[in-house]
Structure 1
Amino acid sequence: STVAINASGEWLALGSKSGGQLLVWEWRSETYVLKQQGHAHGMGCLDYSPNGSLVATGGDDGKVKAWNAASGFCFITFTEHTGPVKAVCFTPKGNAIVSASLDGSVRAFDLTRYRNFRTMTTPKPTQFSSLALDHSGEVVCAGTQDSFEIFVWGMQTGRLLDVLSGHEGPVSSLSFSPTAPVLASGSWDKTVRLWDVFETKAATQSLPHPADVLCVSWRHDGKEVCSSSLDGSLSVWDVGDASLVAQIECGRDVAPGRRMRDKSTFAAQAAASCFTTVCYSSDGKCVLAGGNTKWAAIYSVKRKVCVKKWAISNNRALDGVPEQLHSGSMTEAGPKGLIEHDEEAEVDGDTADRRDESLPGSRQASKGASRRRPAIRTAGARFSPTGRAWAAATTEGLVIYSLDDRSSFDPLDLDIDLTPAAALEALEEGEYLRALLMALRLNEADLLRAVYERIPSSSAQLVAANVPQCYLERLVALLTTQVEATPHAQLHLVWAKSVMMEHGGWLVENRAKVAAPLKGLHKAISRQFSEIGGLANSNGHTVTFVT
């Protein structure tokens, strides 16, 4: 639907509106420079890998995609499912993705060989709507939306181990305790049930709710469960005594925008909205929630208040984004944007192909539904295991919000007076961060050593905390070089500790990029520890006698 050519004329960029595809083609070599495609009918679920570097998504087009959280590129797509994918989970080791679909299968995909190595099914065809893995990755549980049961398989063999019955409505959400073999299940029968999957087939506890339960999530210490219900509230339960710890009313925060077909007031629409996905933060103090609204919000569990909320899209072409409807667009036949064209007036050859023949009430329209606008919603939201970011599967695609934004713009990139003399002058004036960044930019060994050794150890943590992430790889390499070349053991340890404490999350997410300098730093510090430790041990009694 759109084409662009670069300045040299060697690359052609092609964009497909219907398929959500972007291609960059080099015509001379007849090869793809870039080939990316999103989900055709929107995303329905997502999950973070254990180290936070990857994000897995499942779509209504039956595809499972794995994305690089740093670059935003999809590097593998699995197409084995024949129905919408409703839930995806990473294994605890992060080497496989498990997905549940409405086609009646639960599939496991290997991220090393990129293949579907396990397929789990039931004796009778059913539709899966939720999925969970235990903390060992050996047990797979999936909930159904038609038989109201929970099926349990073994990951190693793919055999059906057990069937948990008791719910009287579709099982909307499953979540395993991070510390014990206890499964929490939320259902439209207005209950959250806790199951000991290895001891008994009956639910050990049942937590009643005033409305249908849409999502459940465990706190990382396994002591609390948070659930979202259809009445727009979040409930926090103490698992030990099955007591309600907190109930957060989210009606004001979940209030959506106006939809073109809305006939009721804004207040009535707000009362009918709710959060459909919840997730605990890494420290367990906050809960991230999203749903059939343009807002995603973070709540403090202790204070029961909304700490922060984001509008995940400002695209007014989506239903639910505008705060008010334009009265001039209303006619006797309804909103102008939804009135179909006169078939007699259109004589195009593809008129019949574009005719809307989708079933009433269906969200996925046929190619003729050009007058149907997609509604903004958040199908899934997850915190990164590092606690520095969170991701959401929305109508517009996968969005990632991060605290690590210091590398987006670096003023030194525009400095024309970048010289060794300027770096030393900044060092003399006490501008240690500026001096270090200039030295890292110039990358001269003598200048790097001079600046590094003249920064006071008391300022190391403050300087390290403000180093942009684009320079962290060079900084770690500098530490490795200095540990191997100079005897200032205390200074090296202070710098190494400061970098790890301030940027540990980023280093874990980008460990492939910094693996070599980190290994070198570890080896150099270990060698220095052995030398100093041996000397100290051999002179321990002498030091004790002198002191």
Structure 2
Amino acid sequence: ELFTFPPGPEPIFGLACSPDGRLAAAGQQNGKVRLLDIVGRRDAGWLQAPDWEKPGSSAAYSVAFSPDGKRLIATSVTKRRLDLWDVQSQRYEGALVGHTNDVIGAQFSPDGQLIVSTACELYNRTNPGQIFLWDAHTRARLFALSVPAANSWRPAFSPDGRLLATPHSDGTIILWDLTQRERLKRTFGPHRDIVSCVCFSPDGKQFATASMDQTVRLWNVGDGQEYLVGWHNAPVDCVVFSRDGRWLASSSRDHTVKLWEARDLSKSPVIFRGHSGRIWSLDFSPDSQTLVSGSLDRTVRLWDVGALQNETILNRDSAVLGLRFSPDGLLTGRSQGGRFLVRDLVSGRLVAELPTSDAFFSPNGELLVAIMATNSFSVWNTRDFTLLTNVQTEAKLERPPCFSPDGQLLAIRRSSNAVEFRDTSDWQLHHLWKPGEGGKNSSEDLVYSAISYTMIGLGFSPDGELLALASGDGSVRIYALSSRRQVRRLQTGLKRLNSLAWLPHSRTLAVASRLDSTVQLWDLARQDHKVLNSEAGNVFAIAVSPDSKTLAVGTQDGTVVLWNLRTLRQMATLKAHLTYVGGLAFSPDGQILVSQAGDGVRVWRGATAVEGSERSKK
């Protein structure tokens, strides 16, 4: 999500972007139209009819800019008319009057010469309703189309202006030849419920439909072939193509927006979350980089579509089991062959191949440390990836090691349930922490024998003063470096923790277990915690963005769920992989998220969401 405009006074129905991409028009429930500056992210004015305060004013269900962006049309439902304004001066030009039913839909023709409007008794499935064509300049009604015994909702012109598609309450879609002023012989459908919206693809060869039967469908204009794009969990109110034809967006009463790959329906959709009400309308910016949504929750939101570029950089044959970024943006991964590969993120070029199964960058990016199979660890420099030293240890070591934020200490778990701290200046043992023994450990720790748990993972707090140790018994021990004592023990109630991450610039710790679908956020300063439930399967990996705004959660079913850590709400879901997501990492600038599974690694240039659905060709 790029931006949310402050809520307006009324729920939002109709919505449209201006042809130059600078403005969005949002039709309000009270009949007024709110103009929003997309570029400047501020209000740009209000459009209202002279009599808007009089009884009878009601929702602007549809709004539309003329192709040159100079004029705007809006429906006035219960006044049974269309209102027309000059956009630049915000001057009211007049009304298009003649409907005898509530006016639902309105659109300009691609050449700007015509306006189409539809009127009906909303949700009445048998009233035939009305479809009128108007002269856009004189506001005179030119002709009416003879509609069937089912009312029409929001229509659409084909890109060449020759055809008009009208969606109907009996689940059908009718194409009209406007040069002949008659319907084509073929009737498309039916959906199992009201078809609420229709939109042509930019090339005019297909059109998409949204229906109250909760489906989104795609139709070939030429042969009538139907494709099931996918489902929502509630009636679908709107569907719209991006101008470049790549994306198909749909919105629903389930409060979500789904973004489908129009050219590859086998792919799962990206799902945008954030609205708390029915999303009546959507529109793309002319450059197809931004999606705008309007909701009955009174907000207009901007979504970054341009960021949704992802690519598989490693296939199944070279799937990795661990990944992380160096501070300068190099991507690292562990190959199946037991070799550690360092790749350039931008080009995908293999930079180095080390004789170890895994390695970890120092905070300044100048070193790589790898735990070896023997009682030792090795250190390489990253200038030319030469081996600097191989350090022998007293006991077998476990991955992963962990650098302190200043890079002066390296913490490594021993298989004997102890943690050793190494001075990185000479790699000598600095000190040893043995939870469960006496000495400088806390009295609480004496109760828990080292035999009763297995150490799973560890991580330094961002200020370097604390070390968190996740244990197989579901607890997290917090160790203070200054006193060399355990100062807290967090009882998560989870079985076998497998993921641990500190939120940058804070003393909040995120923990998760692959036997549970939740992530717990422990605020050590406030001494409380919150629970986030992904509802997308058990958690196998977590990662926090460098600005602490986003939590990425990888689940058992191959989904990556993105959480807004400020609002603690889901904002997106990525159906990223076919198998469980075993690794996640944000780039140092937070602009890229990398996900890893058995089917490869994907690079997501933006934080967005995806959810699986059924798609089939009928």
Q: TM-score, normalised by structure 2?
A: 0.39
Normalized per residue, the structure richer in helix is: 1
Greater relative contact order (CA < 8 Å, ≥ 6 in sequence): 2
Normalized per residue, the structure richer in strand is: 2
Structure having the higher Rg: 2
Q: TM-score, normalised by structure 1?
A: 0.44
